[in-house]
Amino acid sequence: MNTPESVPAHDTVVPARYWHLLDDGRAQCDLCPRFCKLHEGQRGLCYVRGYEHGQMKLYSYGRSSGFCIDPIEKKPLNHFLPGTPVLSFGTAGCNLACKFCQNWDMSKSREMDTLQDRAMPEDLARVAEQTGCRSVAFTYNDPVIFLEYAVDTAKACHERGIKTVAVTAGYITEAAREEFFRHMDAANVDLKAFTERFYREVCGAQLQPVLDTLVYLKHHTRVWFELTTLLIPGQNDSDEEIDRMTQWVVRELGPDVPMHFTAFHPDWKMRDTPPTPPATLTRARQIALRNGVQFAYTGNVIDPEGASTWCPTCGALLIERLGYEIGHWGLDARGACAGCGTVIPGVFEPMPGQFGARRIPIRLARAPHSPDPAHSTGTS
Ligand code: SF4
């Protein structure tokens, strides 16, 4: 049983899509591969979806754990409107249970009071436009679990010419992924490891559905996407695993999908694991390049070479990155290498944006009886 695509635009508890009734009276959520089976009054593992009064519901529509204007490189996306600002926001909950979660205060939250700001889709689109953001990112926690809110926000953004970005683990069912990604212009997908063991023991999930999502994105959509792997010492950082992962990416997705290898820092339930040595990221990048990945990056460390974009044909420096600042720009107006003419995959404009490394938290809180939250927007 599914509900129509539209939901009441004023409510924060709305009918959810992608579920059906089981013979035993429980409701099964069909949004992510967990397929939670819920009795009346129960919530799913993500906690923001639940079965109540005979209807699956989303409890976090229009509610956010915070908003921030970031450089798009922070998502990370290196081939999507470089140098431009993106309005980032998330809600609460998550459909994975990663022991190393770097955003656990939001994603593991079961307290709706984490959700401080209230913003309906049109509010978000308007504020993104007013603040000069070129895109809105669904990030901090996985937007799959708030699909109805993300899709409506994406529609409102597109009406104003604002692009949309999903930062996701790609843990979504075949039934739901078409609708979700149809409304996204770009995505950064976590490929957290390349073993079922890691996904099962460290994330409480499965690898194969993520691989299925990546193949779907590459071969059945026009979404620009890049991959991120957080390398955790002793867990997913062996030469053998990175070798198999990067060979799979080149074989199944092609050599032009950018890969980001980023540094872990001890957090959540993995505080005893040491941070990732920068040399590990460099080693992973070199394995990827050797296997034919054309754009391999290091992240969360100071590494100008690993952070920059290089022409896969002539080796010229195309986009120099110093942290989130863009330095040298070696692309022509078509997004091709100015030296040899090789077209670089991605979404590029003749010149990069100038947003730089700033991070600007904003509040969109709707004051009681205030009809227009845009007026209460400000920077802090
Ligand atoms: S989206 Fe939430 S409720 Fe639905 S199957 Fe996944 S974890 Fe369970």
Half-sphere exposure of 305 (CA within 13 A, CB side): 8
- Express as a percent the part of the chain with pLDDT over 70: 89
Query: Coil, strand or helix: which one is 250?
Result: helix
The neighbouring-strand residues paired with 49 are 58
**80, two tokens:** 């999507």
Atom 6 of ligand 1: nearest residue by CA position: 32
Confidence of residue 4 (pLDDT cuts 50, 70, 90): very low
Q: What is the Cα–Cα distance from 46 to 184, expressed in whole angstroms?
A: 22
How many A from CA of 47 to the centre of ligand 1? Answer: 8
For ligand 1, whether the C-beta of 57 sits within 6 Å is: no
Whether 49 contacts 29, CB under 8 Å: yes
Cα 215 to Cα 209, 339, 346: the distances in Å are: 10, 32, 17
How many A from CA of 35 to the centre of ligand 1? Answer: 6
How many A from CA of 64 to the centre of ligand 1? Answer: 19
Atom 4 of ligand 1: nearest residue by CA position: 29
Which whole number is the average pLDDT over 285-310?
Answer: 97
Q: How many residues does the chain have?
A: 380
How many A from CA of 34 to the centre of ligand 1? Answer: 6
Confidence check: pLDDT of 223 > 70: yes
Q: Which of 2, 17, 32, 42 to mutate to test the pocket of ligand 1 (most atoms within 8 A of CB)?
A: 32
How many A from CA of 237 to the centre of ligand 1? Answer: 29
Q: What is the pLDDT of residues 32-65, one digit of tens each?
A: 999 999 999 999 999 999 999 999 999 999 988 8
How many A from CA of 19 to the centre of ligand 1? Answer: 10
How many A from CA of 18 to the centre of ligand 1? Answer: 10
All structural domains of the chain: 66-329 (3.20.20.70)
Q: What is the Cα–Cα distance from 158 to 152, expressed in whole angstroms?
A: 10
- pLDDT-wise least confident of 13-22, 97-106, 202-211: 97-106
When the pLDDT of each residue in the chain is averaged and rounded to a whole number, the result is 90
State which ligand 1 atom lies nearest to the alpha carbon of 171. 6
Residues 6 or more apart whose Cβ sits within 8 Å of residue 258:
78, 79, 226, 227, 293, 295, 296, 297, 346
pLDDT at res. 110 = 57
State which ligand 1 atom lies nearest to the alpha carbon of 34. 5
- Kindly report the backbone phi and psi dihedral angles of residue 52, in degrees, each rounded to the nearest multiple of 5, phi listed first: -150, 130
Which whole number is the average pLDDT over 251-278?
Answer: 92
How many A from CA of 46 to the centre of ligand 1? Answer: 6
Peptide bond into 76 cis (omega under 30): yes
Which whole number is the average pLDDT over 7-19?
Answer: 79
Q: What is the Cα–Cα distance from 6 to 3, expressed in whole angstroms?
A: 8
224 vs 270, higher pLDDT: 224
Torsion over CA: 106, 108, 114, 118 (sign):
positive
State which ligand 1 atom lies nearest to the alpha carbon of 38. 3
**296, two tokens:** 């391999």
How many A from CA of 283 to the centre of ligand 1? Answer: 36
To 5 degrees, how large is the angle CA 335–CA 214–CA 205? 140
For ligand 1, whether the C-beta of 44 sits within 6 Å is: yes
Residue with tokens 């330095």: 327
Q: What is the Cα–Cα distance from 190 to 303, expressed in whole angstroms?
A: 21
Q: What is the Cα–Cα distance from 49 to 90, expressed in whole angstroms?
A: 15
For ligand 1, whether the C-beta of 49 sits within 6 Å is: yes
Q: What is the pLDDT of residues 140-156, one digit of tens each?
A: 899 999 999 999 999 99
Residue ranges in the chain assigned as alpha helix (H) = 104-107, 121-130, 147-159, 174-182, 196-203, 208-220, 239-248, 278-290, 304-307
Which whole number is the average pLDDT over 180-206?
Answer: 97
Residue with tokens 């979660």: 101
State which ligand 1 atom lies nearest to the alpha carbon of 18. 4
Confidence of residue 267 (pLDDT cuts 50, 70, 90): confident
For ligand 1, whether the C-beta of 46 sits within 6 Å is: yes
How many A from CA of 296 to the centre of ligand 1? Answer: 32
Q: What is the pLDDT of residues 335-365, one digit of tens each?
A: 999 999 999 999 999 999 999 999 999 887 6
Q: Which of 45, 48, 177 to mutate to test the pocket of ligand 1 (most atoms within 8 A of CB)?
A: 45
Other C-beta atoms within 10 Å of 353: how many? Answer: 16
Confidence of residue 114 (pLDDT cuts 50, 70, 90): low
Full-model pTM: 0.92
For ligand 1, whether the C-beta of 141 sits within 6 Å is: no
